[in-house]
Amino acid sequence: MIKKKIEAYIDAHRQEMLDDICTLCRINSEKMTYKEGKPFGEGPFLALTKALAMAEGYGFSVTNYDNFVGTADLNDGERTLDILAHLDVVPAGEGWTVTEPFEPVEKDGKLYGRGTADDKGPAVAALYAMRAVKELGLPVTKNCRLIFGTDEECGSSDIAHYYDVEPEAPMTFSPDGAFPVVNVEKGRLEAHFTKNFAPCAALPRLVSLDAGIKANVVPGKAKALVEGLEKDAIRASADQIEKETGVAFEVAAEAGKIRITAVGKGAHASTPEEGVNALTGLLSLLVKMPFAPCGQIQALTDLLELIPHGDTCGEKLGIKMADEISGPLTLAFSLLKVDSESVDGTFDSRCPICSNEENTLAVVKKNMEAKGFTLLTESMTPPHHVDGGSAFVKTLLEAYEHYTGRKGECQSMGGGTYVHSLKNGVAFGAAMPETDNKMHGADEFAVIDELLVSAKIFALAIVELCS
């Protein structure tokens, strides 16, 4: 009876839930410049304010933790379950075709827009799960708290601020991954490196290179400015490299120089094999061009040897590895700036349980230093693992099985969520395992039926865990 009531309630509130998601997704909540009282800038502040107003309007007790984090409590009982979601988003990026990033639209059963999948859509689904439990008067005696964060994409300093004053709940899930349950999150090595060299004005030359928007995003575009080469010759080389890499190139004259724009396909850094890296594609082109010999071009050649186009497992860096529980190590070359005197870059590696600083960080440092690069990163984030046989995880899997008819099993992921450092935290939803919602890429979307079933699953889990 309870399960059918939940299902009917969520179905009846479909449009209202989508409207609330769209309200939040119209706010550009990328991390912005600090303002007094707005630790992550205007956008995240506005998104948090709006989300708390929504929750309060639906009858929940809300608390604002210095505009870092906001919470909504189901009741005043013993706090047993936390649902940890976030309202900040990665930069909009380029390449959107269905709609503009912050103009959400419904099309073909999907809701498009930045944040629809990561993580505003799932956050609102969790809010509606709590509404269902509250408004249906379902039998719960313990408290479920929905936590709205605002800095998940840029280091989670918001949630660190929250846990400085609040204890962890006995159980926590974050609707910021995929179903069924992600109980293993890989470790992470965000490797920042540099190299300096003597400037050289000899022609032909590379004037500058700029690629990437964030460390955890496979770059879909990369740009270089070159001088002293003919446009037609560059075009011929670009056509050949496009065949080899799958990266397209735009070549245009610009104030006596030539601008080369590499166009690939963006992806989340935890799944670099799903993208086409414009940065490594551009390097593949540049090292083939007849530039005057110099330290800069040698640095790019060495860099491409360490991280060649298509190597998403760290093989050439000497860190390829895998284990049965968490799968293989992955690597995404995500950021690079080059000028006449220096290289400054970052790659993002998601590391399995068998990885550690000795067999990963130390190896990267050694192999990069052998080619003259300085690795500035001194530590790694360790992996996270929660027992898949616990009563908590089993309850989540049972809720998933009831509303989907699918078998619930634990999974590993390369992406890190808010629960990575929590003792008993897992990622739970809000996308089905087979759905590629273009998270962190252009045309991000959430499947509407998946958001609805997520709300139902969350509501049933709340009842089972908080009764």
Catalytic residues: 88, 152
Exposure class string for 308-323: b at 16+ Cβ within 10 A, else e: ebbbbbbeebebebee
The conformation of residue 106, written as its DSSP 8-state character, comes to E
Distances, alpha carbon 364 to alpha carbons 211, 272, 316, 323, 357, in Å: 21, 19, 10, 19, 10
Residue 159: strand, helix, or coil? helix
Q: Look-up: residue for tokens 């009741």?
A: 75
Other C-beta atoms closer than 10 Å to the C-beta of 293 total 9
Cα 62 to Cα 40, 55, 122, 243, 413, distances in angstroms = 20, 7, 19, 55, 32
Helix locations, 94-201, DSSP H? 120-135, 157-163
- Tell me, what amino acid is at 227? E
Alpha carbon dihedral 454, 460, 465, 467, in 10-degree steps, equals 150
- For 203, list phi and psi in degrees, rounded to 5: -100, 155
C-alpha Rg value of the chain to the nearest Å? 24
